[in-house]
Amino acid sequence: MISQTLREARKYEEAAEKLISKEERPHFHLTPRAGWMNDPNGFCYYKGQYHLFYQYYPYESKWNSMHWGHAVSSDLLHWEYLPCALAPDEAYDRDGCFSGGAVALPDGRHLLMYTGVLKEHQERDIYREVQTQCVAVGDGIDYKKYEQNPVLDEKDIPKGSSRFDFRDPKIWKNADGTYSCVVGNRAAEGGGQILMYTSPDGFHWTFKSVLASNHDRFGKMWECPDFFELDGKWVLLTSPQDMLPQGYEYHNGNGTLCLIGDYDEESGAFKEEHNQSIDYGIDFYASQTLLSPDGRRIMIGWMQNWDSCNLRSPDEPWFGQMSLPRELFLKEGRLYQRPVRELEAMRHNKVEYKDVAVSGTVNLEGIQGRKVDMELKIRPEQGQDLYQKFAVRFAQDDTYHTSVSFRPHESILKIDRKFSGSRRAIIHQRRSLVNTTDGELKLRIILDRFSAEVFVNDGEQVLSATMYTEQEADGISFLTNGTARMDIVKYDLIDL
């Protein structure tokens, strides 16, 4: 038996989806079936398919009482909607089913672990959300919430830590068949901390350790943690709120953080060696990973930032998109990302130019489009002064363009959607420090109608940004102050 709340959501989304044409959505980035989407949830491989759930409010393109939307895919690019999986319909999650993860149980059932939110009356008209961790089990379509929910509550957090900021469990199965999860929490001193729990069966949980603490360095509350082994190290991903900038590495507001180090299984403590942003663009938050059957660690994020949500009008039929799924690896102690290799099957209509001299503005025959995979290798012109600036403009017509520009003297790469058609006074540009030797740079730019994801130097950095420029603006051009040389390979990303 499913609840009335869930039944209504399913009925509503089925009808609302029909009112949105395919062309109004990205081609291979997941958007909500209807209404609002934020964080990816329960990203996992189950019964031969990739499952991706998401924070969801089907009724409007605005954040509201959270449900879990659901989609499946066999290649991480072509998604099929399944019925809404969770609705806020129990006494302990009445005010929202917040983010969480999923695993397959040994008996073949699918376990979802999520945050139940319940508003508690404080005084006069003041309410605060109490957050607890809950589970639900199902068959990949229908899920039943566990009778003994919540499975983790204020009894299970360290003394003085906040029960109002205790959310986003990411669960995984250990080699010995037991389970672990990491949960974001706010420590007594107000900063973020990541708590770790273990369980023999996924239902009964015990506190293990404070895995990592903010110590007032990276924002305040740490949301949406993920923790995994990668190339011989341990990686902790989280999305901090209320960040202050640090050089070009971290920016103000909601940001992303990757900590790389070692993990002491005995004590449950993480020993941090390196920190960096996950994405250096404008729109990326709340990342989550899975381990694919062939052993790849694949990450997806909400391609959005809470601070720039009003780029898109709430009157539009959908809001929020997922990033491209990205394969993660470590190189020289840093996190690297590359688009999932499944994308290669969608590359068609190859156009290639070698050693093009770019001075002033250059347009190249066959180089245009809004569903594009484009690789550029840029280098200085021999025997000439190093160029001042190289830029590629896309989603371009006489009125609009979005650009990625590079200043080799400063090693600064900028993504700029100021001229993308936005009418809001929000962030439209972001600069990042990149690695370059003598003005050489590699860029792989993926466009999918309403977004650009820029992979720099084979994945050393990524800059993601959404753009809602009208689709007719599909020009691409290249500009240099000075002269640069460029190799370019461009494909359309389409299904034949």
The Cα–Cα gap between 402 and 451 comes to: 10
- Which residue lies nearer to ligand FRU by CB, 202 or 301? 301
139 counts as catalytic? no
Task: Find the radius of gyration of the CA atoms of the chain.
Answer: 23
Complex with ligand FRU: residue 224 or 465, whichever CB lies closer: 224
Tokens of 403: 């650009």
Q: Which residues contact 140 (CB under 8 A, 6 or more apart)?
A: 46, 47, 49, 51, 72, 82, 110
Smallest distance, Å, CB 254 to ligand FRU? 8
In single-letter form, the type of residue at position 226 comes to D
Rounded Cα gap, residues 480 and 362, in angstroms: 9
Pairing of strands 285-291, 326-331: unpaired
Residue 55 or 199: which CB sits closer to ligand FRU?
Answer: 55
Q: 170 or 208: whose CB is closer to ligand FRU?
A: 170
Which amino acid, 27?
H
Tokens 């990592």 correspond to 212
Distance in angstroms (rounded) separating the CA atoms of residues 265 and 477:
52
C-alpha 124: how far from its chain's center?
A: 38
E strand or H helix at 288 = strand 285-291
What is the nearest approach in angstroms of ligand FRU to the Cβ of residue 409? 37
Q: How far is the CB of 494 from ligand FRU (least distance, A)?
A: 32
Distant-in-sequence contacts of 152-158, Cβ < 8 A, 24+ apart = 152/183, 152/197, 152/205, 154/130, 156/197, 156/205, 156/206, 156/207, 157/185, 157/195, 157/207, 158/187, 158/188, 158/195, 158/207, 158/210
Closest distance to ligand FRU from the beta carbon of 176 (Å):
29
- The DSSP letter of residue 76 is S
**C-alpha to C-alpha distance for 287 and 317, rounded to whole angstroms:** 24
Looking at the Cβ atoms of 161 and 477, the one nearer to ligand FRU is 161
Least distance to ligand FRU from the beta carbon of 185, Å? Answer: 11
Binding site for ligand FRU (CB under 6 A): 38-39, 55, 66, 98-99, 115, 167-168, 223-224, 285-286
CB of 63 to ligand FRU, least distance (A): 7
Q: Which residues contact 71 (CB under 8 A, 6 or more apart)?
A: 30, 33, 51, 52, 53, 54, 79, 80, 81, 82
CB of 315 to ligand FRU, least distance (A): 21
Distance of CA 252 to the CA centre of its chain: 18
Minimum CB separation of residue 169 from ligand FRU in Å reads 10
Give the count of beta carbons closer than 10 Å to the beta carbon of residue 425: 7
The residue with its CB nearest to ligand FRU is 98
Nearer residue to ligand FRU within complex by CB, 98 or 318: 98
Pair 490, 372: CB distance under 8 Å: yes
Pick from 429, 386, 393: nearest CA to 411: 386
Angle (CA) 298-310-340 rounded to 5° is 15
Of the residues 39, 93, 95, 416, only one is catalytic, namely 39
- For residue 14, give the H/E element and its range: helix 4-17
39 or 342: CB nearest ligand FRU: 39
Q: Which is nearer to ligand FRU, 66 or 462 (CB)?
A: 66
Please classify residue 335 by burial: count the beta carbons closer than 10 Å to its beta carbon, then call 0-12 exposed, 13-18 middle and 19+ buried: buried
Residue with tokens 């449900």: 67
Least gap, CB of 7 to ligand FRU (angstroms): 22
- Residue nearer to ligand FRU on the CB measure, 309 or 367: 309
| DSSP 3-state of 425 | coil
Between CA 139 and CA 93, with CA 35 as vertex, the angle to 5 degrees is 55
Active site residues per annotation: 39
